[in-house]
Amino acid sequence: MPEGILCNKKTIDTKEQLDAILADASGNQYYEEMNHLDIDKVALWTTIRKTFKSRFKTWLEICAHCGLCAESCYYYLANNRDPKQVPSYKIKTTLGELIRRKGDVSNAFMQMCMDTAFAKCSCCTRCGVYCPFGIDMGIMFSYLRGLLFSQGFTPWEMKIGSGMHRIYRAQMDVTTEDWVETCEWMEEEWEDDYPGLKIPIDKENADIMYTLNAREPKHYPQDIAEAAVLFHLAGENWTAPSEGWEATSLTMFAGDWPACKMQVENVYAAMKRLKPKRVVGTECGHAYRATVIEGPYWAGIKTGQPPVENLHYVEWVAEVLRTGKLKIDPAKKIKEPVTFQDSCNYVRNAGLADIPREIMSYIAEDFREMKPNREHNFCCGGGGGLNGIGRYREERNIGFKVKRDQILATGAKLVVSPCHNCWDAIRDMEEIYHMGIKWTFLKPLLIDMVEVPEHLKPKEE
């Protein structure tokens, strides 16, 4: 049974394994090895029998091939209504066929499944809203990703992401020391402008525990400083955990089920250890999905709820603007036309659609909705891990056209995007299609707009 050195059924659990796969730039060797990877058909069918339960079985059986899901899928729309992009076709020819053949499938079939599960579906779950039976291909493709991962068929970057989580409990190589030192560094760099600014680590019984995305300490530490400034200005009693601060889950996108549990339990352990009243997560869509929506089930929590009440960042922003903890300087409201990118993960999948509208009513004078919007909004085009996968760049960029046209139709030159993934997608979209737009998280916008209380202003020299 040929197992590659880099592409194989083993998970990445050591630094040596991680270093080896990272050294294979773009995954050239990895994908070459994948061409020779055998399927352990017995193990695959055993996994299916244990995990393929009544909901998915029913969904696959009752699909009436009515085609109502077709127009709901942005890949179908962006690819000239190619019938092969109809969600029901995509799932029937992959997961459906895998079940029908009882796992007796070839390497080429598994690679086709991987290409479909990652490059023809971003798990945005929009199709589930339009199916008369509520059949959700996004959820089923997430499941298929898990089956593929168990057999070694996952994109190179996803395998790395899974390994990072297993080794660092973060999607990037950020240790506890790195994280805490970065917080200290951000305090130092920003305290001249915001005297008394602190990033309190491991404070017990705070009102808020803040969780993040590893990209923030690794590549964008200003995001941490901005969050701290806004908590500081709002007078919040807050903290961040030294461990369990990373709320994202590339393991979820990869389909590494055991590591999904490991990762989210690390975050829940921080909640239990520090006992905050509430948790606020950063401007990330999938961190919310992993921690709040899916996490409790991975962790086997019977209530289906995380150990502590969790808010997405937009909920915290709406609350502090509503209650006046943060006040917007009316002269600094956004004057130009501005639109909002609804993240699939916390708008469609968690029902937070009203919250961004409330925020926009406080900060923008000319807010323009994309059409469609709210739960019906289209994925940014980079969701489900797709932004980070080089192998599918062309497919992603074609899919971008739907979001591009939605944004352009609003006439807005600024897109507010409180989701790292959407933010990255819109950045890349601008780079590729030269739309003449800007994009932003809420944090830097708010910092420029809020009134700083007199006692928190820097003293004049």
Partner 1 sequence: MATAEFMGKTFTVDEDGFIDAYENFCPEWVQWVKTQEGIEEITEEHERVVTVLQEYYEKNGIAPMVRILSKVTGFKLKHIYELFPSGPGKGACKMAGLPKPTGCV
Contact residues for partner 1, defined by CB under 8 A = 19, 22-23, 25-26, 157, 160-161, 164, 171-174, 178, 181-182, 185, 189, 213-215, 217-222, 248, 250, 387-388, 390, 393-394, 420-421, 424
Min. distance of Cβ 190 from partner 1 in angstroms? 9
The candidate with the shortest Cα–Cα distance to 101, out of 147, 170, 155, is 147
Cβ proximity to partner 1: between 164 and 414 the closer is 164
Cβ proximity to partner 1: between 339 and 421 the closer is 421
The candidate with the shortest Cα–Cα distance to 72, out of 116, 133, 125, 119, is 125
Cβ proximity to partner 1: between 26 and 51 the closer is 26
Min. distance of Cβ 219 from partner 1 in angstroms? 4
Cβ proximity to partner 1: between 169 and 368 the closer is 169
Min. distance of Cβ 214 from partner 1 in angstroms? 7
Min. distance of Cβ 186 from partner 1 in angstroms? 8
Cβ proximity to partner 1: between 97 and 173 the closer is 173
Type of residue numbered 95: L
Cβ proximity to partner 1: between 137 and 158 the closer is 158
Rounded distance between C-alpha atoms, residue 399 and residue 79, angstroms: 8
Cβ proximity to partner 1: between 146 and 155 the closer is 155
Cβ proximity to partner 1: between 144 and 172 the closer is 172
Min. distance of Cβ 317 from partner 1 in angstroms? 21
Rounded distance between C-alpha atoms, residue 396 and residue 123, angstroms: 13
Cβ proximity to partner 1: between 164 and 412 the closer is 164
The candidate with the shortest Cα–Cα distance to 340, out of 281, 280, 283, 282, is 283
* Residue carrying structure tokens 């937070």: 352
Min. distance of Cβ 392 from partner 1 in angstroms? 9
Cβ proximity to partner 1: between 94 and 162 the closer is 162
Rounded distance between C-alpha atoms, residue 104 and residue 434, angstroms: 46
Cβ proximity to partner 1: between 83 and 458 the closer is 458
For residue 405, how many other CB atoms are within 10 A of its CB? 15
Min. distance of Cβ 107 from partner 1 in angstroms? 24
Contact 382, 425 (CB under 8 A): yes
Task: Quote the tokens at residue 16.
Answer: 């040596």
Task: Quote the tokens at residue 130.
Answer: 């339009």
Min. distance of Cβ 327 from partner 1 in angstroms? 26
Task: Quote the tokens at residue 426.
Answer: 């819109």
Residues in the chain, overall count = 461
Min. distance of Cβ 222 from partner 1 in angstroms? 6
Contact 258, 174 (CB under 8 A): no
CA distances from 269 to 224, 253, 264, 317, 405 (A): 21, 22, 9, 25, 43
CA distances from 107 to 10, 376, 405 (A): 17, 36, 37
Rounded distance between C-alpha atoms, residue 208 and residue 282, angstroms: 12
* Residue carrying structure tokens 């057999």: 151
Min. distance of Cβ 443 from partner 1 in angstroms? 15
Rounded distance between C-alpha atoms, residue 225 and residue 234, angstroms: 14
Min. distance of Cβ 185 from partner 1 in angstroms? 5
For residue 350, how many other CB atoms are within 10 A of its CB? 18
Q: What is the largest CA-CA distance in the chain?
A: 76
- Dihedral sign, Cα of residue 86, residue 89, residue 92, residue 95: negative
448-454-458-460 Cα dihedral, nearest 10 degrees: 120
